Structure 1
Amino acid sequence: MLSTIFITLCLSLVAAKALPAEPSTGFNGSWPVGVKRALPVFEIDYDDYPQSAENICYSWYCNNGPRAVAPNRPAADQNRASNSCGNVDPNRCSTRVGHDAGYQCDEWPWANSNAGGANAVTRCIPSGDNGGSGASWGNFINNKGSQAPGYVLQDNVDFAEIRVVNVPFPDENIAHFCLGERGVPITPGACDQLDHGQPYLQQIG
């Protein structure tokens, strides 16, 4: 009997550890009961940040990545150091390992989010694309910029839903993984294909 209770307790702890990143209620946790607010929406515009968008979509369709995250500003460096954007020097997007100049290592979930870290997907993308999308997210969680939600998101407490918008369709020569957002099936085989001239295939971790 005691062993059964112990096993049940252990399984419960494992299940708790494996909870998804998204909040189950759809409401942010820093608001008192009665005034809780629905998750704000942060949009990545494909027209502006196509490579950031593709990396996010790759995570969603090929690695079961979260579609809602909370900021975790203090953990950014540690999370980045646990995947291929930071666990080696130089990282895989550096000219020192033969990559073209002008690229940075992008990751989803972002390193400064609650879900960042070892299981993030990474991709070498143009510096402007990476920096622009990252700055937009930074402004958003700090209640700045055109998408400001109306309050500063608290670390590991306040979640935001992430959406990729303005995905080109049906031009598959532009969009790839994000065609899933337009209803195109993304098959396991598609997840293994090199994406339109991308010199380094996405990595997990």
Structure 2
Amino acid sequence: MTSALPESVAGTWQRAGTRQGETSVLFTSITAETTVYEPLESAATLAALGPAEIPLRSLFTVDMTFSPSLSTVGVSPASMLSKAAPKAKAQFVETVEDDGLVVEDTREELAFERPDGTEGRWYVLDVAYPLSTTDRDRLEAETNVAIWPTDDAYGMAGGTLPLETPPGDAVLEVDPERDRETIASLIRTADPE
């Protein structure tokens, strides 16, 4: 993704890391590069919370590359959204589970429209954020994942937010509505190459 973070958070969030994954569907190779962002003011607190590689409060963008490109093989990304979106979500779930989150369920699947009129799919996932390596110590959280067609591929962005305060000395402000609005702002403004 070439776009910056939304102006409302650009000065208060930082890049936490980039991950790259590859998969194949029939004759097409798909490379997905995911960039994860975390809030500056709570980066140290978030890093100390548990073993997951994804911060409990985070944003992400995914830059997808298809080889050969979809237009080269005569496929319109918009026409394939109903099949591509669930597959992209499933691949994303696999990635975040490998990074330590526990995805419990898809709470909601919504159709949405970006400011340019492009229609996409938005998934709200119930997740558990591990506080230790045991299954008992977890925080309730939510991950939002949005997928929409572009000229040659798909755009993908979203974020994770805590739904409860961590126990002990960790000071972390929990404000789901604020975090959902930050995620929605990213999804509205993210602009893949």
TM-score norm. by structure 2 comes to 0.24
Q: Which has the higher contact order (CA 8 A, sep 6+)?
A: 1
The structure carrying a bigger strand percent of its residues is 2
Q: TM-score, normalised by structure 1?
A: 0.23
Q: Which has the larger radius of gyration?
A: 1
Give 1 or 2: higher helix fraction.
1
